[in-house]
Amino acid sequence: MSALAFTQLFLFFLILTLIVRFWLAVRQLHTVKKFSDNVPKQFAGRITLPAHQKAAAYTIAKTRFSLVSLTVDTVVLLGFTLFGGLQYLAGFISAHISNDMICQIALIFAVCIIAGMFDLPLDYYRKFVIEENFGFNKMTPSLYLGDMIKNALLGTTIGLPVLWILLVIMEKTGTWWWLYAWILWSAFQYLMLFIYPTFIAPLFNKFSPLTDEKLRSQIEQLMQRVGFRSKGLYIMDGSKRSSHGNAYFTGFGSAKRVVFFDTLIERLSPEEIEAVLAHELGHFRLKHVVKRIVFTSAASLVFLALLGFLKNESWFYAGLGITPDLASNAVALVLFALTLPIFTFFLSPLLSMGSRKHEFEADDFSARHTDAGHLVSALVKMYEDNASTLTPDPLHSAFYDSHPPASIRINHLLRHS
């Protein structure tokens, strides 16, 4: 393939993706607005009209803002590639740093910092304007700044050694470097499953043991029935950042923890909490977690093999605005990371389809081990509390939503009642 042909291919996918994403957003805005004045029949008496209208307004605000984010991301992508930003950065850094490894690491960090500078105001607006206006944001500017500093320090502390090893592998291990890199990446991901619950998550949130003895007993009986062993039941102080609620289990093997947001504990009844947890445990018992890990691992192997091919092709660099003299492993990593989402966007419905299948199966599991009506009432409360739209556009939902639309999910559960 020639450099010109690859440039044309890149622009084709970029423009096509932009057109489809704008079209999907317009469909979402039209559909949500169209049904905003009427609560769907299956939710009548469960969700009030003001709550339904709030969810519609929240969805519209987020969708409109997503178009702003998409525009900024596209400008940044073109700025780094065809407009010469990465070419300039690579030349500037190589002219001032003689050590090749330090030069490559500095380039990747520079790209991350610059991209972060564009994302920061968007993220701030998302939290302190949109989330704030709808009553969800509980963060203070100081907490936001503290989180940002912690993330930066963690990213550097953990990411720097991993990046250094990866670049050494790319440089020293020959044609099959991508296979060794995949082994490194897989080992790192599995390690994070063990250390995240114990060492990383507590840096951002406080995890307190569940002290409600009646609820604890009820949950332990459920876990015993489904054969789930946990290192503990915890309540997380999610309310200090957001009023959104959730429950999940984290970790792997003996490090598994069941975690409830404090907002969820306050809002749901014990029976509803049990039903929600049964759904999460369903993901575990039905091997969804293992399947996701295997799929992610297999996908990363395919993508690394693809990168192994592309990094040796001059048209890959030249087609994205990089001259051959500045081509390097770091440049290949950056270009691949920047452009991969453009070429894989149309796989989104397939990924969503698989995720939704797992959600239906987990709902069925919950209905077998608890009262399906309790899960329905819990979901309705969560839809209302999180201002989740009850009337999404089907096509938009197929691309972006990992969970089934509310009406379809509730109707599916009601068949168990």
Catalytic residues: 280, 363
Per residue in 233-264, is it b (16+ CB within 10 Å) or e — as a string? bbbbebbebbbbbbbebbbbeeebbbbbbbbb
Question: Does 220 count as an annotated binding residue?
Answer: no
Report d(CA 187, CA 162) in Å as an integer.
11
**242 vs 8, 94, 99, 385, 406, CA distance in Å?**
43, 43, 45, 11, 22
Of the chain, the end-to-end C-alpha distance in Å amounts to 59
Neighbour-count burial of 403, counting CB atoms closer than 10 A to its CB (0-12 exposed, 13-18 middle, 19+ buried):
middle
Question: Does 359 count as an annotated binding residue?
Answer: yes
Question: Does 369 count as an annotated binding residue?
Answer: no
Instruction: Compute φ and ψ for 38, nearest 5 degrees.
Output: -140, 125
Q: What is the 3-state secondary structure (H, E, C) of the chain?
A: CCHHHHHHHHHHHHHHHHHHHHHHHHHHHHHHHHCCCCCCHHHCCCCCHHHHHHHHHHHHHHHHHHHHHHHHHHHHHHHHCCCCHHHHHHHHHHHHCCCHHHHHHHHHHHHHHHHHHHHHHHHHHHHHHHHHHCCCECCCHHHHHHHHHHHHHHHHHHHHHHHHHHHHHHHHCHHHHHHHHHHHHHHHHHHHHHHHHHHHHHHCCCEEECCCHHHHHHHHHHHHHHCCCCCCEEEECHHHCECCCCEEEECCHHHCEEEEEHHHHHHCCHHHHHHHHHHHHHHHHCCHHHHHHHHHHHHHHHHHHHHHHHCCCHHHHHCCCCCHHHCCHHHHHHHHHHHHHHHHHHHHHHHHHHHHHHHHHHHHHHHHHCCHHHHHHHHHHHHHHCCCCCCCCHHHHHHHCCCCCHHHHHHHHHCCC
Q: Which residues are annotated as a binding site?
A: 279, 283, 359
Binding residues for Zn(2+): 279, 283, 359
